[in-house]
């Protein structure tokens, strides 16, 4: 089984509740896949990364990179892109780290966490990716990283049915079908899991694959 989790955006309490729900069901053979966007917007980005950094000691895990991690690392490593980052909720992450460490500095294990993020995960019958895939390119390994992290309409509006189910985050499901439930488009064989955890009252969602059981934490 795979437990695939949508965008967290600094919502530590929802994350902790969801992992507690997963812990009731998960076995040693199962893997938890995170679709990225762990930080920004919510108030507890430091706590989220601290918590996630310790999960591989308990479970098999795969952490994907989101566009928010991409913006953050660009700012943190080069000092560039700050204006774009702040426009996208980065102030919450900067504040969270300053509150917990006294400065905007990544602890060593946080640096390791960010440096090991993957761009996608391919299973036998699904591909997990943060934003989506270019429908003109069959092999996810041949995609430009910017598309994997940022693509929207070109992916989910394409007249294209994927052979493997594409499970993605990035675009809130409120924008896809005006609902905070998961977005499932059988015609394109895609499933969106960003159910808007950053909004009050909206859940952080996990899809268990392949039986499609839904776990939610509000």
- Of the candidates 68, 110, 143, 170, the residue annotated as catalytic is 68
- The pTM of this model reads 0.97
In the predicted structure, residue 48 carries a pLDDT above the cut 90: yes
Question: What pLDDT sits at residue 131?
Answer: 98
Phi then psi for 5, rounded to 5 degrees?
A: -115, 135
Distance of CA 93 to CAs 2, 71, 89, Å?
29, 12, 8
CATH class for the domain made up of 2-217? alpha beta
Q: What is the mean pLDDT of residues 118-147?
A: 96
pLDDT tens digit string along 144-170? 999 999 999 999 999 999 999 999 999
Q: What confidence tens digit (pLDDT) does each residue in 57-74 have?
A: 999 999 999 999 999 999
Long-range CB contacts for residues 82-88, cutoff 8 Å, separation at least 24: 88/40
Reduce the secondary structure of 91-120 to three states and give it as a string.
HHHHHHHHHHHCCCCCCHHHHHHHHCCECE
Structure tokens at 118: 């993957």
Q: Residue 211 gets which letter from DSSP?
A: T
Confidence at residue 141, expressed as pLDDT on a 0 to 100 scale: 93
Mean pLDDT on 20-31: 97
Residue 138: predicted pLDDT: 85
Can 170 be counted among the known catalytic residues?
no
User: In the structure, what pLDDT confidence band is assigned to residue 191 with cuts at 50, 70 and 90?
Assistant: very high
CA atoms within 13 A on the CB side of 155: 29
Percent of the chain topping pLDDT 70: 100
In which band, very low, low, confident or very high, does the pLDDT at 55 lie, cut at 50, 70 and 90? very high
């Amino acid at each position: 089984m795979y437990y695939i989790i949508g965008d967290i955006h600094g919502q530590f309490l929802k994350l902790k509740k969801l992992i507690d729900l997963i812990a009731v069901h998960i076995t040693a053979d199962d893997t938890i896949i995170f679709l990225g966007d762990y930080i920004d917007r919510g108030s507890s980005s430091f706590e989220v990364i601290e918590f996630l950094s310790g999960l591989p000691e308990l479970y098999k895990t795969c952490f994907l990179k989101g566009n928010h991690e991409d913006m953050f690392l660009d700012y943190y490593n080069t000092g560039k892109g700050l204006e774009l980052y702040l426009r996208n909720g980065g102030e919450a992450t900067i504040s969270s780290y300053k509150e917990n460490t006294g400065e905007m500095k990544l602890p060593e294990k946080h640096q390791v966490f960010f440096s090991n993020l993957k761009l996608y995960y391919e299973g036998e019958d699904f591909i997990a990716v943060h934003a989506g895939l270019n429908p003109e390119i069959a092999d996810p390994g041949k995609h430009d990283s910017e598309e994997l992290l940022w693509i929207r309409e070109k992916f989910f509006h394409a007249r294209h049915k994927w052979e493997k189910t594409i499970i993605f985050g990035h675009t809130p499901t409120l924008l896809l079908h005006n609902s905070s439930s998961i977005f499932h488009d059988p015609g394109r064989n895609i499933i969106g899991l960003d159910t808007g955890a950053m909004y009050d009252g909206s859940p952080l969602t996990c899809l268990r694959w392949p039986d499609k059981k839904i776990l939610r934490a509000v």
